[in-house]
Chain A
Amino acid sequence: MTQTSLFTADARTTKRNRAEKRFKAYGLTAISIGVFMLVYLLYTILSSGLGAFFQTRVTMDIPLVQEEIIKAEKGLLKTKAYKKIIANALYAELAEAGIETTMKEKELLGIISGRAPAELRSFVQENPDQIGTTVEFKLLAGSFIDGYMKGRVVRENAERSKNYSIAQLDLVDQMQKAGILKKGFNLAFITGNDASESSPEAAGFGPAILGSLAMMIVVAGCAVTLGVAASIFLEEFAPQNRFTDIIEVNISNLAAVPSIVFGILGLSVFINYLGPISGDDWIKNNSAFVGGMVLTLMTLPTVIIATRASLKAVPPSIRDAALGLGASKLQTVFHHVLPLAAPGILTGSIIGLAQALGESAPLLLIGLVLAQGASAPDSIAEFFAGPNTAMPAQIYQWSTRADPAFYERAWGGIIILLVFLLTMNILAVILRRRFERRW
């Protein structure tokens, strides 16, 4: 090498250092892209989904006149008469607020959700003592009016749309000013039932949340029991032989099998094979039990891997101490090793549960989808054995419906799903922090 001073970088070194900087920049760019995508995804979720938690409602006093109701119940199309009641009440409400309108009844009712007459009717049937009084109702606004309030529907498109008119939007503006029409928190989205394809404004996530809960109960019961039992055998009792090797290889392979394959397994084993033989609803139906079993098989490898790691972390000296006192091997494991490994097992199980909670593909295959507008099962037996649905399946259902207003519902559902997942993961982190033990 030529005699040059160290204080001056030669041309080659300068070039190499530039390459170094470039390389480092690539790395930083890669991480930034990853983080940006995450932030963008979260932004999309929140900006598209928060709307589902707010809904436009029209507040009005409806006089429940006995004669009108009797007449309505006698009619062939009962809700049609209730429509009339609502329309009259709305005209009255507008007049009272000093809003003049020449709008026809049909167009006026377009502002209100198509479900409103049925809602009114069921209120009357449940509260017959209220007949004869005037009751304040907060009726859902129609999907497009709600979309207008949320900025999804714009005036410019009104002329081309069959679903809403400029006149309606003008009236809505006036009603909003008068305080008749308001956007408010929508508890019904979290607790309410799904609605039919034509009324996205009334669709709720309630049955899906309950269905997922039922499935998680099954998964928690089965996957944790089976996973812990299998891990105890493999970690504490298994001899080094072919059988054990086959199990180990199987577990690591199952962990990487696509989830949809578990769906096929569930479909053919439970619904097509065991169901007809047993004749039992809980196996035959698209029930939370079957869904839970499929998800159990899917999460089992995750639970087993986590449990084995935490069993391994318990030092052998603990086992020696117990065995030295004359405890049997099984007593040693159940009295000493397992309690010490419990926090790790719990953490692993929660992570496995979270994985199961977000899974959709296998559930679609075994048909864990309720009919449009169906309500949640109403008895404990039905809860586990009857047809059911789950959060991801419901989200997928909404995403396939024609009206884009359902996209907002789907994103809203995702927010709820992620809140559950986040809670579970935070719980797992807290458990790990709190009970982490260093030997």
Chain B
Amino acid sequence: MSLLNLLLLILVVAALGYFIGRSRALKSAKGDQAALHSRPHHYGWNVAIFASLPALLVMVAFVLLQALVVPNSVLKEISPELIESTGSRSLVMTQVQTISNGLEAAVENGLIAEENIATLDVQTADVRALIQEAGVVLGADVNAEMLESAKTLKDRVKKWSFIRNILIVVISLAGLIYAIIRTNKDFRARNVVENSIIALLVAAASIAIFTTIGIVLSMTFETLRFFELYPASQYFFGTQWAANFRGGSALGVLPLLWGTLYISLIALAVAVPIGLFAAIYLSEYASPLMRSVAKPTLEVLAGIPTIVYGLFALTTFGPFLLGLFGKGGALGVEWMADGRSVLTAGIVMGIMLIPFVSSLSDDIINSVPQAMRDGSYGLGATQSETVRQVILPAALPGVVGAILLAASRAIGETMIVVMGAGATAAIFYESPDRFINPFEIMTTITTRIVAQLTGDGAFNSPETLVAFALGLTLFCLTLMLNVYALYIVRKYQERYV
């Protein structure tokens, strides 16, 4: 029985419990609703909750426990030689897991009968081909010990799942019976139900925490696996990026980091002046009518999906730049060889970021007290002098916060760089052209994450796992920027409250 079916079963039991609980409560009050402590539906819910909630909690706990215990128990039995020859424990485990999944899929697709698996042998059958036919891709060949371990793993998973199903059904029914027995007219069902609901609300609120933990844990584990296969020092300080799914890659993060920062810098160089001047004009000069039209119009730029900007960079803006700066272009210079470049992605991203800068800056400029303006006008300052010398310095921390938030956006942006910046990493030592020239192709962290994870590599190769290290790097980078920016903005807001 799969998890989904188990879930459905529990829900059916709970629904049944609702009606039993409700009718039992009414019966104990001889049909007089007023004699009950709580409303009838509270009794129904009480039973339903007891029949489902503990069972669901046990189910989640069991699934997580199983994930920890079962593979480890198999791993313990694997010979040190095999681990030695494969590279690391986690690598062996991933392969065994994949084979096991493949066997499962093969049975499902009817390629092999369940009872024939026990006698499956690497000498007599091409296990890899069998698994491949079932739709599971395997990186390396299957050896005998791995196949045996995979069989063991598959058996144990099956055994555990069986125990799991029995246990959960028993818990569900026990909860149902316990709650039904407790149901009578004096039972305070409402309090029980309400406390359970509040517990659920707390659980929902905790999802934010679990998401963060999930992000950090999942990426950290895979990153550690990556560092088992590839030295961390070469990742952090390596000045070359040349990923090759056939192996022997150079996976230094520095060229990618440089590409990311370079493109973000150009994006900010476009977005900050335009966004800031737009914000100043809207908050200091524009008539209410113009403000009510121009502000939402600019904000539309932020609501357009990034894939649109990506396609714009790829099919319209890149060729446009190429037409200006490329061979035989309008300017008669040969600076550009490809429509994709740092400049293409940077400028298009800058357009997208205009409203991020302008909206937040507008709010911040508006929150500078009117007394500041009055003071300056009273001394005979013009509006622009007031803006430049009084309002902007007063709003500076907030505006810096807004720019940092936009920068974090730019660093994490994916589609525009995937489609507009190209796939070649910066090269530091050859010629300055390959890392300074904004007309050159230059790839970024996000671009490489997409490329490495959607590429053809086996999942446990360093070329794929590096994506998690890149993801973690990106996460830390943007998190630091965000936390610092929010801190600045909050501190600024407190100043004028």
User: Given contacts A37-B351, A253-B212, are A258 and B308 in contact (CB under 8 A)?
Assistant: no
Kindly state the separation between the CA atoms of A250 and B207 in the bound complex, as whole angstroms: 10
User: Residue-by-residue, is A294-332 near B (CB-CB < 8 Å gives 1, otherwise 0)?
Assistant: 000100110010000000000000000000000011100
The answer on a CB contact under 8 Å between B304 and A230 is no
Which residues A325-342 have CB closer than 8 A to chain B? 328-330
Q: Residue A269 contacts which of B2, B201, B214, B415 (CB distance < 8 angstroms)?
A: B214
Kindly state whether residue B446 has any CB partner on chain A within 8 Å: yes
Kindly state whether residue A277 has any CB partner on chain B within 8 Å: yes
Kindly state the separation between the CA atoms of A364 and B415 in the bound complex, as whole angstroms: 10
Chain A interface extent, by class: 35 or more
Closest to A417 in B: B305
Kindly state the separation between the CA atoms of A407 and B97 in the bound complex, as whole angstroms: 41
The answer on a CB contact under 8 Å between A365 and B306 is no
- How many interface contacts (CB-CB < 8 Å) are there between A and B? 266
Kindly state whether residue B57 has any CB partner on chain A within 8 Å: no
Residues of B contacting A44 in the complex (Cβ-Cβ under 8 angstroms):
312, 316
The answer on a CB contact under 8 Å between B415 and A33 is no
Which residues B305-341 have CB closer than 8 A to chain A? 305-308, 310-312, 314-316
Closest to B387 in A: A23
Closest to B281 in A: A27
User: Given contacts A247-B208, A258-B414, are A421 and B454 in contact (CB under 8 A)?
Assistant: no
User: Given contacts A238-B205, A246-B209, A301-B208, are A258 and B413 in contact (CB under 8 A)?
Assistant: yes
Q: Among B46-54, B116-124, B192-200, B248-256, which stretch is in contact with chain A?
A: B192-200
Closest to B449 in A: A260
Q: Residue B218 contacts which of A24, A28, A265, A283 (CB distance < 8 angstroms)?
A: A265
Q: Among B78-86, B126-134, B404-412, B425-433, which stretch is in contact with chain A?
A: B404-412
User: Given contacts A33-B274, A396-B307, are A330 and B382 in contact (CB under 8 A)?
Assistant: no
Smallest distance from the beta carbon of A256 to chain B beta carbons, Å? 4
Most A CB contacts (10 A, CB to CB) among B218, B219, B294 go to: B218
Smallest distance from the beta carbon of A104 to chain B beta carbons, Å? 35
User: Residue-by-residue, is A227-261 near B (CB-CB < 8 Å gives 1, otherwise 0)?
Assistant: 10110111001100000001100111110111111
The answer on a CB contact under 8 Å between A34 and B208 is no
Kindly state whether residue A273 has any CB partner on chain B within 8 Å: yes
Smallest distance from the beta carbon of B408 to chain A beta carbons, Å? 6
Residues of B contacting A45 in the complex (Cβ-Cβ under 8 angstroms):
308
The answer on a CB contact under 8 Å between B411 and A277 is no
Q: Chain A interface (Cβ within 8 Å of chain B)?
A: 16-17, 19-20, 22-24, 26-31, 33-35, 37-38, 41, 44-45, 48, 225-227, 229-230, 232-234, 237-238, 246-247, 250-254, 256-262, 264-265, 267-269, 272-274, 276-280, 282-283, 297, 300-301, 304, 328-330, 354, 357-361, 364-365, 367, 392, 395-396, 399, 407, 410-411, 414, 417-418, 421, 425
A and B contact pairs by CB, cutoff 8 A, 24 listed: A19-B384, A28-B281, A30-B276, A31-B298, A33-B274, A34-B354, A34-B358, A38-B297, A48-B316, A250-B212, A253-B483, A256-B408, A258-B446, A261-B474, A264-B215, A276-B97, A278-B2, A283-B3, A304-B208, A358-B306, A360-B415, A364-B450, A365-B449, A407-B315
For the complex of A and B, 5 pairs with smallest distance between CB atoms: A258-B412, A27-B281, A358-B305, A229-B204, A30-B277
- 17 more A-B contacts (CB under 8 A) besides A260-B446, A265-B211, A421-B303? A23-B383, A23-B384, A230-B204, A233-B201, A246-B209, A247-B206, A258-B413, A260-B471, A268-B222, A268-B468, A269-B218, A273-B218, A278-B2, A279-B3, A280-B2, A392-B415, A421-B305
